[in-house]
Structure 1
Amino acid sequence: MRILVVEDNPDILANLYGFLEPKGYAVDSARTGYAGLALASENGYDVIVLDVMLPGLNGVELCQKLRAELRLATPVLMLTARDSLADKAAGFDAGADDYLVKPFSMAELDMRLRALVRRAEGRQAVGSELRFGGIVFDPDLQEASRDGVRITLTKTGYALLRCLLAAAPRIVTRETLEQALWGDDRPESDALRTHIHALRQALDKPFVHPMLHTIAGVGYRIALPDAAPSSHAAD
């Protein structure tokens, strides 16, 4: 599970790292709302934890931007010292999925994060056709197409396409893709590069403009044909 924590209290942040990382979670963090927004726009996360009281851009405003501007469906859990109904309503109205009042139990936080991710996966798995820039993928039927042209992939290829489409047009890091495809049992060889090459052959070769881009030293993304990637390299 990859988690983004946006929290400006260094003690709480240290406690979260100390609890979550030994459980095998990959944790990124930001101490301001704008820094959190930047990380969320550049990376794919399974769940986001937001403090309400943040400098610059508070948690409620950040959650609104995640939903309205970035169009992210990533589950959001909000942390706050305020437990009034009005405060909770503001968080939920902004697009939060859950609320936890400080001080909180780390064990309860863990349970809530797991539940949020399970529910998100369940929603995505049931009739959730993914679409972006002429690419359509139905995970239930394992069918994909671009501009109406059928794309045939392996099981791993479909899983890779799903990860990239779910984040498009944002960059998905190599580490995130490898975790999604193989979990902790990652192959030693450069298997990801091989699968990216196969996906590119199926997704881009029949068309004039490529949509699958390699961002050198970072990862990959699917972007509209007229969107120039920040950098491009071979598979």
Structure 2
Amino acid sequence: MASILKVENLNSYIGQYTILQGVDIEVKKGEAIAILGRNGAGKSTLLKTIMGLVNTRSGSILLGEDSLVGIPTYDIANKGIGYVPEDYGVFDYLTIAENLKLAIRNDTKDGDDRIAKVYDIFPDLRKASERMARTLSGGQRQMLSISRALVNDNKIILIDEPSKGLAPVVIETLAVALKEISKESTILLVEQNFSLACAIASRYYIINEGRTVVNGKIEDLIQDTQLQATHLGI
């Protein structure tokens, strides 16, 4: 099966500091891939580099056959990449309904149907659709952020630390929703919560000090406690 997203020998920098120093990943259609690693390993920077928010020094980023290197972030989004940042990325002074409508790209023909489907996945958002985003709980804001990526027919969705700062009971609800989303969407997930990542992803890549160091099937990683201890501190 052809790759949806392929990153090869990616090096990127912020200011004078090189953050990624040789990252390789490949995501095929329908997969849910987890990017794992210790804090500061470069996981979030990888997603930001794919989205053009961090400068690429060298290497390649391909969406299908299209290079994303040097392209403005809005063009990358228009090519079919949904991005859920770790700081939610919602408009505080707009309602849930307004946030969702604003996220729909001009080329999306079934936006209303997609919003209805989002409400089916996250019933709490339907109930609170006329509330401003700033009044929502952390879990609801995360649901809204993910939903904003779902209202378009994206080729892949990048999700950065969805469980960050959330209570365990909320994480359980989020895990069920993300598992449901993964049945129809291709997902690249950065997640520090090992249990959540294992519940959603089928394959993984571990990044350490800005480099891809190991990859494989999630089911094998679950059994390999030595690998978990070495690279994830579990």
When the two structures are superposed, what TM-score results if normalisation uses the length of structure 1? 0.34
Q: Higher helix fraction: Structure 1 or Structure 2?
A: 1
- Which structure has the larger Rg over C-alpha atoms? 1
Flag the structure with more relative contact order, 1 or 2, with Cα contacts below 8 A and sequence separation at least 6: 2
Q: Higher strand fraction: Structure 1 or Structure 2?
A: 2
